[in-house]
Amino acid sequence: MSASQRYRAANLALWEELTAIHERSGYYDVEGFLAGAERLGPIELAELGPDVPGRSLLHLQCHFGLDTLSWARHGATVTGVDFSGAAVALARRLAAETGLPATFIQSDLYALPDVLGERFDIVFTSWGVLIWLADLAGWARLIADYLVPGGVFYIAEFHPFALTLDDQADEPLVGHDFYFPTAEPHAWENDGSGSYADPAAHVAAPVQYEWNHSLGEIVTALLAAGLRIEYLHEFPYMSGSLDWPTLVTGADSLTRVRGHEDDFPLSFSIRAVRP
C-alpha cells in the first residue's frame, strides 16, 4: 500500500465511524433538521443564498448531506458527493424521509470524473473540508471542470490561521499547529474519544491525516485552474461552535476568540467564477 493509499484508508475508516456518531449528536441536530430547522450558516446564506433558487448545485465533501438537502430546500437541484459509504447511505435516507429531491454519490473526490460527467451552475463546499485534501491544485481543477461557463464556485471555511490555535489551551492565541503547507500530512493519533460534534464519543479509528493549506495556496490554486475570483472575505467569527477553551459562542450563534472577538480571523469565504 502506498503512502497516499494509507492516508486515504485511515481517513475513510475515521469518517465511516464518525457518521453514526454525528447522526446522534446535538451538533448536527438531525431531528431538528427533519422538523424544518435551518442547517446553513449566516455567512453562506447571505453570500450564496440569493444565487441558489433554480440552479444546479454540486456539493463536494458533503458528509451525510444536511447542507446539501438544505440547499434543496432553498430551491437548488442538488448533487452531493462524499467518499464515505456510510455517510452517503444516511444522506439518501434523509432525502427519502424529507421528500427532498437529491442525488448522492459515493466517490473519492479526485475520482469523481469517473462516475459524474455533467456540469453545474454552482459548486459548493464548506466548513472543515480543506484539511482532508492532499492535492489542492487537483481540487481546484476539478471545481473548474464541473462548472458551466459563468458558473460559480463558493466556499465558506475555517481560516487556516485559526487552525494554528491550540484546541486544548486555556489561554487565547496559543500556537499549536503549523500555518504553511508541509510536504507530508500531519498524523494525529486518536486517544479513543472525541469528535468535534460529540467530544464524549468513543472513536476507535487510531489515526487521521490532515494537510495544511495557507490562504495564499488556496487562492493560487483557484487562479491557476482558470477561475476568476470575485472576492475573498475574512471574518472574526465562524458558524457553529467548537469545544475549544479559547472560543466563545454569542447570542448570534457565531463563535469568536475570547478576548479577541473582533480581531482574530476565524473563517473566510471565496466566490469565484468560471469565465
Rounded Cα gap, residues 44 and 153, in angstroms: 12
Highest mean pLDDT of the ranges 73-87, 167-181, 233-247 = 73-87
Taking a C-beta distance cutoff of 8 angstroms, is the pair 227, 272 a contact?
yes
Cell of 234: 475574512
Other C-beta atoms closer than 10 Å to the C-beta of 206 total 13
Whole-prediction pTM value?
Answer: 0.94
Assess whether pLDDT exceeds 80 at residue 98.
yes
pLDDT tens-digit map of 183-229: 788 787 877 667 777 777 778 787 889 898 999 999 999 999 999 99
Number of domains in the chain: 1
Q: Name the amino acid, one letter, at 150.
A: G
Rounded Cα gap, residues 84 and 205, in angstroms: 14
Residue 50 burial by Cβ neighbours in a 10 Å radius (0-12, 13-18, 19+): exposed
Name the β-bridge partners of 228: 273
Other C-beta atoms closer than 10 Å to the C-beta of 9 total 12
By residue range, what is the domain housing residue 27? 3-273
Domain holding 250: CATH number? 3.40.50.150
Cell of 148: 458551466
Q: Which one, of 1, 269, 10, lies nearest residue 155 by Cα?
A: 269
Average pLDDT of the chain?
91
pLDDT tens-digit map of 240-255: 766 778 888 888 889 8
